[in-house]
Amino acid sequence: MLPLLLILAADDSLLEGFRKTTVASVADAVDQITGQRGFLSHDMRPRILGPSIPDRFVGRATTALLRATTKEKASAQLSAKHSVEMIDNAQPGAVGVIVVENGLDVAGMGGLMATAASARGMAGVLIDGGLRDLPEIRALGLPVFSRSIVPSSSVSRWASVARDVPVTCAGVVIKPGDVIVAGEDGVVRVPAARAAEVLKRAQEIDIREGSMVPDIKKNKSLGKTVEQYKRI
């Protein structure tokens, strides 16, 4: 087994590589390497915008899951239990993934949870559900993507059921430890076991497309360049 420091250094290098790639190239690379979709639904969008907010983030996923239940089972303590535990145990640079099943009208995160996520040094948060307390979160500088913005609470509506389990987030299964690449183009999940292969292919795509740009400008034709490179 490799020493822990070598494992951590390799992971840092991997994540840094993803930070330098485009989200679109990562999405294409996941398609090509795994044969499966890695990109999340179109409505998973950045909700906290401002000059001090990072426009993209990359990190390993840590997850929490909420489901609709009765009012008695969705107490203030239980409604966000695993989300709170997930944040409180997150490593610096982790990406929180909170899934509020069928809960676009229910906020999965607000200002208090975001404050804790920021204090833990998390890279960002994805919410398959709603987000609230935007001014407070914007002041923290924490990038958050969600599928909706709502003022509601999960209390008396949804209960937390698990953390660090596989979840279906915006149409894609995300497992703890998967690499999340998020930016203006959207969000892509990279399976942990194929991350190095996906990064290599994404870098190849970036290089090839970068080399096409001068030819397109020179030829003043996309068609001729596509014919030359056999790609669009």
Residues 57-77 have pLDDT tens digits of 999 999 999 998 887 776 777
pLDDT at residue 6, rounded to an integer: 39
Is 29 contained in some domain? no
Is 9 contained in some domain? yes
- Contact of 53 with 138, CB cutoff 8 Å: yes
Whether residue 133 is found in the same domain as residue 199: no
Query: How far from each other are the two terminal CA atoms of the chain, in whole angstroms?
Result: 42
Whether residue 17 is found in the same domain as residue 102: no
pLDDT higher than 80, residue 3: no
Amino acid occupying residue 73: K
Q: How far apart are CA 167 and CA 146, in angstroms?
A: 15
Whether residue 84 is found in the same domain as residue 15: no
- The pLDDT tens digits for 93-112 are 999 999 999 999 999 999 99
pLDDT higher than 50, residue 8: no
Whether residue 214 is found in the same domain as residue 107: no
What is the domain extent for residue 125?
Answer: 37-190
Structure-block tokens of residue 21:
């790639």
pLDDT at residue 201, rounded to an integer: 97
Whether residue 207 is found in the same domain as residue 226: yes
Is 32 contained in some domain? no
Whether residue 185 is found in the same domain as residue 198: no
pLDDT at residue 65, rounded to an integer: 96
- Which of 146, 150, 113, 155 is CA-nearest to residue 41? 146
Q: Which of 16-20, 130-134, 168-172, 226-230 has the lowest mean pLDDT?
A: 226-230
Among 5-14, 61-70, 124-133, 217-226, the range with the most confident prediction by mean pLDDT is 124-133
Q: Who wins on pLDDT, 211 or 124?
A: 124
Indicate the pLDDT class of residue 225, thresholds 50, 70 and 90. low
What sign for the dihedral angle of Cα 163, 114, 158, 178? negative
Indicate the pLDDT class of residue 226, thresholds 50, 70 and 90. low
We report the CATH number of the domain holding residue 61 as: 3.50.30.40
Q: Give how far Cα 42 sits from Cα of 128, 171, 187, 193, Å.
A: 12, 10, 9, 25
Whether residue 75 is found in the same domain as residue 108: yes
Q: What is the mean pLDDT of residues 193-215?
A: 88
Whether residue 133 is found in the same domain as residue 224: no
Whether residue 5 is found in the same domain as residue 90: no
Q: What is the mean pLDDT of residues 116-143?
A: 97
Count of the separate structural domains present in the chain: 2
pLDDT at residue 70, rounded to an integer: 80
Whether residue 89 is found in the same domain as residue 57: yes
Number of Cβ within 10 Å of residue 65's Cβ equals: 25
Q: What is the mean pLDDT of residues 142-160?
A: 90
Is 204 contained in some domain? yes
Whether residue 105 is found in the same domain as residue 175: yes
pLDDT higher than 60, residue 92: yes
Whether residue 125 is found in the same domain as residue 143: yes
